Amino acid sequence: MYSDNIAEYGTDGYIQYVLDTYSGTLIRLCYTYVRNMFDAEDIAQDVLVALLKRGKGFESPEHEKAWLLRTAINKSKNYLKSGWVTRTVKFEDAESAETAELTEEQSQVMEAVLSLPEKYRTVIHLFYYDGYSIKEISAIVGKKAATVGTLLARGRKLLKDMMIGGFEEDEQINK
């Protein structure tokens, strides 16, 4: 190891040192490639895992930093070349393309569904938009069919309250 002030390679102290020193830099560097903060954080985490798998220390702090940055760049480029990225559409693009084809009423319903808590939003989307049965949804989300039915019923009630409440407010404004 190159310094007495830094904990030995592979120890908890070393991991903390690397996180404190380089995590922000790695995330920012990855972000410049992938343009998505969540993906940048995942790639930076992969770089840190690769560091731990490396199995040996570095000659100097400069060597360590250079290795981390080069690994971050390579992993970012590999991510961009991956089939996952090249064959998928970003959520924002998919959402705008999907909502562009919807009528105003359908768009309002979609916004209401998206504003539901995740547990209701997921089952409602799977049931109404993807056409899965309650039994199929229970297998997908890992919950009992009765629980899925309850979540659907509660989600429908929340949607109804949101939609009717919105229409009542509009009517009161127009009066």
| Tens-digit pLDDT profile for residues 5-30 | 566 776 788 889 889 999 988 998 88
115 with 129, same domain: the answer is yes
Give the CA dihedral 4, 8, 9, 11, nearest 10 degrees.
-140
Give me the pLDDT at residue 75, please: 95
Contacts of 116 (CB under 8 A, 6+ apart): 124, 155, 158, 159
Instruction: Note down the domain range covering 39.
Output: 12-86
**Is 4 domain-assigned?**
no
pTM equals: 0.49
What CATH code is carried by the domain that includes residue 161? 1.10.10.10
Domain count, the chain: 2
Percentage of residues in the chain having pLDDT higher than 70: 78
